[in-house]
Amino acid sequence: MNILSIEERWLWVIIYIGVITILWPFSVLIVSLFFGQYRFFTKYIGRIGRRIGIGKNLSNAKLPIGNKQQATTQIPANIAIFASGAGSNAQKIIDHFKNSDVVKISLIVCNKPGAGVLAIAAKENIPVLLIEKEKYFHGNAYADELKEKKIDLIVLAGFLWKIPDRLIKVFPRKIINIHPALLPKFGGKGMYGNFVHQAVINAGEIESGITIHYVDDHYDNGDIIFQARCAVLESDTPESLARRIHLLEHAHYPAIIEELTKPAE
C-alpha cells in the first residue's frame, strides 16, 4: 500500500468495485449455464459493457452447444383428402389452406371414377389417386403410395368405404372423419348422407349436428375430437336438415384440421 501510495480505505474501495463490476457478473454468468438463465445474463453483462464503453455486445453471444437454438423453416403437413362424391367439404378444406404455410393438400384419393371431387382436384392442380377395391381391401390398402407422398394426415370427406386395418396401423390417430350426426347416435354401416338425417327425424330428435372423430377399425367409433349442434325443426325433411348440417361441416372441419396440424410449441 505504501508502494502504491494509496490509503488502505481507498484500496478496499477499488477492490470492492472490481469484485462488483467484474468478478460477480462473470461468476453469475457461469452459474447461469446450469440454470437456463444464460441468455438473460449475457444481455445484462452486455448492457454493463456498453455503459462503460468496453467489450462487445454479449447479448448476441451464442448459446452453448447443448442449448443452441437454430432458426428452422416449418415444413407444411401433407394432407390426403379421401372423398367419394361431389367434394363440397373437400373444396372448403382446399380453399381454407390455399395460402397456408402449415398445411398442404397433397393428394385427393377417390374410389369413384366419375366423382365430382375429381373435377375439383383437376381445377386445383392437386394430384389424384384413384383406388380400386381389391387392392384397397385385400392388398396394401395403398399405404405405400401414401407413405411415398409423405402424408401426415388423412382426412375423410364423404368417403364411403371403410378404412382397412392396414391403413389404421400405418397411420395411427392420423385419420379423421366427419359424421353428419351427434355420435354415438346414428352411426354405423350404411349411416351416411340422407340416411342419417332421415333417421334423426324419425327418432324425433330435437337437435342434430356434426361429429369430427378419429377413425378406428369400427364404423363411426373412434375418439371424438369435436361436435357442433343445430336444431331439428318439426318441418324438417332430410334435405332441409342436410343444408344446416353442411353449414356446420364447412365452418368447422377446416378449422379443426388446422388445429390438429399446428406444430407443437
Does the annotation mark 218 as catalytic?
no
In what order do the strands lie in the sheet containing 103-110? 128-130, 103-110, 77-83, 153-156, 175-179, 207-214, 224-231
Residue 263 buriedness (CB in 10 A; 0-12 / 13-18 / 19+): exposed
Place of cell 363411426: 220
Query: What does 116-138 look like in DSSP terms, one character per residue?
Result: HHHHHHHHTT--EEE--HHHHHH
> Which residue among the candidates 179, 197, 213, 252 is catalytic per the annotation?
179
Residue type, 212: I
Report the b/e string of 12-39 with b at 16+ CB within 10 A: eeeeeeeeeeeeebeeebeebeeeeebe
Does residue 161 contact residue 84 with C-beta atoms inside 8 Å?
yes
Q: What are phi and psi of 84, to 5 degrees?
A: -120, -10
| Residues assigned a catalytic role | 179
